[in-house]
Structure 1
């Protein structure tokens, strides 16, 4: 692989040597203003292991403790087995700020940038900083916005998610999406109703109690 950071290399060097074919799916989920989460999933087809379990490969070839130290408090990981493919899924431990998520993804060699202007969120990542080669059979980057996608470099859009094909490659991966104000207005409206309800109760409850006597 041309560009790959230590966490992935540590977890998959032995596997890639056996198969040469890895599926990678990176996910960036923009939850709100300066609030984001991320995931990274790497799998390979069971047939490439020639009957050896993925856990056996990990335990015999990889220093799990070293990998966990690299992940630190930024990422958790779990085994993936969908019946055909096996591997690892890394997820951020909790929602993060833009800067924290960028720092977390740097472990995987991804130099992501996130920002917003109150109306739109902007995502970008240099394409040459996460290059992939024939070791990957699939390499996708999924970016999900709270609102509609408004622009993006070559990729596919489904609902609020832009998917970039990193095997096809690009000079840069960029996308913008609308801020979803519906949740904000719902919260404001709900809060207003609650205040009105309390005022109503406070105004009429004493009168009702008095009439009862």
Structure 2
């Protein structure tokens, strides 16, 4: 999966000559955490957040009339993070996650080959992708086994699953463990795994998400 498959777009932005008050209003109205700052050519020049905008005032989110008046005259370019870390749309998601982790940031602007802002990737976007890779948004069975490194490992797993009409929806490697998310009958499949010498660590049932009743 690539960054362009997960990023949010179009991106809500603010111009560098906009005031802090205007930027703060956009953040709160749109309920977003980060706001890229661009010039008239949509080239990225910085990133700001509500924390950046109000951190100079001890009152936090609740600003006095004096503070609000001051922010309404201060350009956002004075209170933004310049030269932000960014990624390309064709970068793999795992690499982007590593960049985010090592840089200790929670969002990554996405720039094209002309350095134009085309998207933004957040920590929540990556978390959603991880949840989806484990198949946690749907019901089924979660089977955890120790990773048995040998030739024909995956073909053997699939053969056992086919034998018992078990559909393997997701396979994720987590260190020395392999997590399988399956649908259908899993009892016989698990039995065959154990019989073949696989160390089955855990078998858990995943309930499907509760349906939201309209009007509730």
Shorter-chain TM-score: which interval? under 0.3
Is the strand fraction higher in 1 or 2? Answer: 1
Give the TM-score taking structure 1 as reference length: 0.24
